[in-house]
């Protein structure tokens, strides 16, 4: 047993020694080698001498993840299953059940079944909670239970799931799933096209070109490009998408790193499809990475009017590095900069607050840059739209409701208590909103403001100093005022909450395809984009 353990320790040590002997690490080599030797000695002694049996694999997994937790959230270790999942995400196709699945500790939740794919054909619905896959109970499975649903095309998997409190069973026949980077495109009116980009995988630019070509054949003379909720993906595809609308040999993004070979400039390499078509780009707080490269570049080059809410502000570039035994690391290797020179990274992972959370760059510390035509843009906090819409900016109350998964859960409850057949005229009523507020109460929704936390800390200190009796009445009055505010805050965010609820509910009945159709008729951001494009002088006014 001891010889086997020593072998398991020495092999990774030898590999690490080779890895760290590269030119970039020579100056720090002694310190790195020293720390590896200390860790290896500790790891060996712990496994050989600890009073109870240990699992070296679990201990190492914990050690690696704890070490990486001190860095940014994008530098990650991937086991063999994770490596395959990453390949699928970037390729845009995989074999499985055809559904977006959320992995929780004791169950797998169907977030969205893809229309006409395996899960949908087997009758699974959003909100179904899978508790058993074949003979494996999800709660007892230590690794990512979502991997249990993957398998070869044509193979079958038996699942046990809970729906509305009732346990049911079904068999799903796995199949190849093609995830479109462009899940929807259509004409909004007689001369305005609309393209949705969901992610930046290997197919993104090709699908975007195809969509634009088709829309132009249908008469599109103006275009809205929707990057809302797009988490990004491949950097080269961000450059290729930008290239569709800007000339060849145009700088799109620059990456800067402490490692010289990662310092690169990315220029467009192809002839564009259309450098003149008026273009509006939609972004929100979930638009990140490659989405920010595209929106930031098009903004810096005065090629598009960007509207919506400030983007996420990732600003960091990752690269996979192969490790031993089929594992990998994804490492943040550089920051990226838009054509004007902006780094739009919003979070500082090195200077964390007292709770260990990354701090956000303060607005007073933003730096000003100039677009191609001389407009002022800023770094530090994501891509700021040319037209920032309050309706797109999620309030703290709305974020708290989303984080508690209550929009999704209410969508499930609504689906099983209502029938919707008319997509075009679907609209939630005041009575529906009242039901939603009752739903929040029934689910014990409690939004704690930063002010409340500060007051709680202050009263705790007051008790230590025996001053609580003096301020108790005032404190109670303050808390009462805050509770009154919170009740009003839900009503104050009524339109935003109804829009999010409508989107979730529409997907339940008409799938994502129906949601985009619903957007064209009802979505505020799209309507604002159409309004800007209708008036050429108004459109150009944003770009001058």
* Catalytic site positions: 289, 300, 314
User: What's the CA gap between 204 and 92, in Å, rounded?
Assistant: 9
Residue 150 neighbours by CB under 8 Å, 6+ apart: 84, 94, 95, 96, 174
What is the rounded radius of gyration, in angstroms, for the C-alpha atoms of the chain?
26
Tokens of 92: 């845009």
User: What's the CA gap between 260 and 23, in Å, rounded?
Assistant: 11
Angle between helices 494-522 and 468-492 in degrees, nearest 10 = 20
CB 523 within 8 A of CB 506: no
CB 115 within 8 A of CB 403: no
3-state secondary structure labels for all residues of 465-489: CCCHHHHHHHHHHHHHHHHHHHHHH
Partnered with residue 194 across adjacent β-strands are 186, 224
Considering only CA atoms, which of 337, 336, 225 is closest in space to residue 274? 225
CB 316 within 8 A of CB 333: no
DSSP 8-state code for residue 52: S
User: What's the CA gap between 401 and 408, in Å, rounded?
Assistant: 10
Is the C-alpha dihedral spanning 286, 289, 291, 296 positive or negative? positive
User: What's the CA gap between 112 and 128, in Å, rounded?
Assistant: 10
- Residue 391 exposure: Cα atoms within 13 Å on the Cβ side: 13
Locate all alpha helices (DSSP H) within 274-395, ordered by sequence. Answer: 290-300
CB 371 within 8 A of CB 377: yes
Partnered with residue 137 across adjacent β-strands are 132
Locate the DSSP E strands across 68-165.
76-78, 93-96, 99-103, 108-113, 129-133, 136-137, 156-163
């Amino acid at each position: 047993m001891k010889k086997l353990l020593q072998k398991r320790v020495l092999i990774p040590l030898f590999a690490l020694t080779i890895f760290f002997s590269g030119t970039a690490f020579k100056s720090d080599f002694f310190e790195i080698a020293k720390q590896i030797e200390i860790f290896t000695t500790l790891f060996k002694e712990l496994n050989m001498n600890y009073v109870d049996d240990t699992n070296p694999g679990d201990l190492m997994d914990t050690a690696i993840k704890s070490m990486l937790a001190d860095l940014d959230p994008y530098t990650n270790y991937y086991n063999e299953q994770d490596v395959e999942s990453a390949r699928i995400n970037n390729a845009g196709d995989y074999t499985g059940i055809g559904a977006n699945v959320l992995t929780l500790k004791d169950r797998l939740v169907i977030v969205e079944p893809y229309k006409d794919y395996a899960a949908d054909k087997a009758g699974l619905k959003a909100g179904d909670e899978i508790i058993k896959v074949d003979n494996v109970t999800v709660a007892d499975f230590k690794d990512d239970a979502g991997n249990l649903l993957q398998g070869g095309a044509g193979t079958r998997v038996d699942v046990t799931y809970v729906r509305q409190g009732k346990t049911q069973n079904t068999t799903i026949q796995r199949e190849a799933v093609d995830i479109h980077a462009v899940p929807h495109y259509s004409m909004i009116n007689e001369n305005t096209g609309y393209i949705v980009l969901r992610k930046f995988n290997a197919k993104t630019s090709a699908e975007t070109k195809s969509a634009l070509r088709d829309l132009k054949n249908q008469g599109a003379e103006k275009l809205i490009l929707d990057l809302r909720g797009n988490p990004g993906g491949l950097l080269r595809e961000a450059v290729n998408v930008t290239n569709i609308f800007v000339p060849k040999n145009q700088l799109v993004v620059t990456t800067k790193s402490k490692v010289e070979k990662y310092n690169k400039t990315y220029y467009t390499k192809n002839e564009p499809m259309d450098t003149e078509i008026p273009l509006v780009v939609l972004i929100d707080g979930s638009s990140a990475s490659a989405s920010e490269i595209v929106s930031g570049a098009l903004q810096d080059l005065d090629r598009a009017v960007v509207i919506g809410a400030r983007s996420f502000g990732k600003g960091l570039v990752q690269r996979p590095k192969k490790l031993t035994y089929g594992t990998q690391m994804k490492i943040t290797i550089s920051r990226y900069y838009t054509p004007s020179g902006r780094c739009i990274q919003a979070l500082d992972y090195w200077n964390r607050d007292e709770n260990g959370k990354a701090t956000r760059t303060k607005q007073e510390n933003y730096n000003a840059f100039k677009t191609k035509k001389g407009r002022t843009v800023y770094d530090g906090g994501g891509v700021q739209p040319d037209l920032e819409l309050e309706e797109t900016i999620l309030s703290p109350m709305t974020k708290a409701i989303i984080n508690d998964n209550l929009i999704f859960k209410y969508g499930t409850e609504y689906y099983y208590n209502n029938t919707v057949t008319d997509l075009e005229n679907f609209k939630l009523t005041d009575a529906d909103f009242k039901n939603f507020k009752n739903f929040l109460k029934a689910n014990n929704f409690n939004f704690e403001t930063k002010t409340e936390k500060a007051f709680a800390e202050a009263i705790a200190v007051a008790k230590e100093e025996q001053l609580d009796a003096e301020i108790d009445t005032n404190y109670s009055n303050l808390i009462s005022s805050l509770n009154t505010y919170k009740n009003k805050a839900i009503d104050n965010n009524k339109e935003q909450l109804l829009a999010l609820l409508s989107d979730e509910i529409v997907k339940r009945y008409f799938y994502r395809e129906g949601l985009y159709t619903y957007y064209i008729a009802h979505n505020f951001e799209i309507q604002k984009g159409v309004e800007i494009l209708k008036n050429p002088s108004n459109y150009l006014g944003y770009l001058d």
